[in-house]
Amino acid sequence: MIKCISFDFDRTISHVTPLTHHFVPKLLAQKGINVSVEEFLQHSIYLRKNMPEHLVDRFSKYGTLPKEEREQFLKEYNRARVDMIDLTYSGDDLEELKNWLVEKIFSTQKKILYDDVVETIIRLKQLGKMVYILSGNHSDDITELLDQAGILDSFEEIITVDKYFTEKTDNYQVLLDLSQLKPEEILHIGDDVMGDGFGPMKHNINVLIIRREKQMVVFEDPDHNFKTITTLQELFNFL
């Protein structure tokens, strides 16, 4: 019997709006440049799998960086995404265009909870389940969003890489220790087959992979068929 559910945060509990791979093509269209959503999406996926040297270390440590360094990383990361597009531009200076794109992304995007989160957490608590966040991100933004939604106190703990181990996979043992449950009594839900699939599996924890609509999928594993859901309401079929 499942007694505890742990949630990844980004692309599971929260998302960035507007989605970058939809937002950037719209911005470029304002300048008369045609780049499809699918084209930009594929560039973004390639970047995640082939991170430039100057971003690699900070990407792996992103959740532990101070706020100012996280913001700087996001700007440089989005600049790298823009640089991957083969842009030919007859208007203003190309460098000026790229800087404009990066600033637009940074100033416009914000992180919000998915519409199904609050209802799901309330229902889980009514069923007597323990709930945790287990994220590779930083705790500040997570705590703020959950508090704004009025559900922060529903969580036993926010397990993040700035509060516990810097490797997300190691924090599944923290989840076991804090909950004092057996692995088979815990269900983890996340979007990444590496950190949210194989990570908890190494600790014999049950796994659900969530594939939300329009969300970028970076890694897939054709040799392993994880159970998947598309909304959080579907998790109740597995309790």
Shared domain check, 234 and 160: yes
> Which of 71, 86, 108 is the last residue before a domain boundary?
108
> Which of 108, 142, 176 is the last residue before a domain boundary?
108
Tokens of residue 184, six digits: 């088979």
Report pLDDT for 62: 82
Shared domain check, 57 and 118: no
Shared domain check, 126 and 92: no
Among the ranges given (83-97, 136-150, 221-235), the one the predictor scored with the smallest mean pLDDT: 83-97
Distance CA 166, CA 109 (A): 26
Shared domain check, 184 and 103: no
Nearest one of 229, 61, 78 to 136, comparing CA atoms: 61
Shared domain check, 156 and 98: no
Quote the percentage of the chain above a pLDDT of 70: 95
Under 8 Å between Cβ of 191 and 228: no
Give the strand pairing for 130-134 and 157-159: parallel
Shared domain check, 171 and 185: yes
Residue 142 has pLDDT above 90, yes or no: yes
Mean pLDDT of 115-127: 98
| Burial label, 111 (beta-carbon count in 10 A; 0-12, 13-18, 19+) | middle
Number of domains in the chain: 2
Shared domain check, 32 and 118: no
Residue 160 main-chain phi, psi, to 5 deg: -130, 170
Report pLDDT for 138: 86
Residue 145 has pLDDT above 90, yes or no: yes
Distance CA 229, CA 149 (A): 23
Mean pLDDT of 98-124: 95
Mean pLDDT of 118-125: 98
Model pTM score:
0.84
Distance CA 165, CA 103 (A): 33
Euclidean distance between the first and final Cα of the chain, in Å? 7
Indicate the average pLDDT of the chain: 91
Shared domain check, 169 and 101: no
Domain of residue 212, CATH code:
3.40.50.1000
> Which of 108, 136, 155 is the last residue before a domain boundary?
108
3-state secondary structure of 54: helix
Distance CA 83, CA 69 (A): 21
Tokens of residue 185, six digits: 């009594």
Give me the domain span that covers residue 165: 4-15+112-238
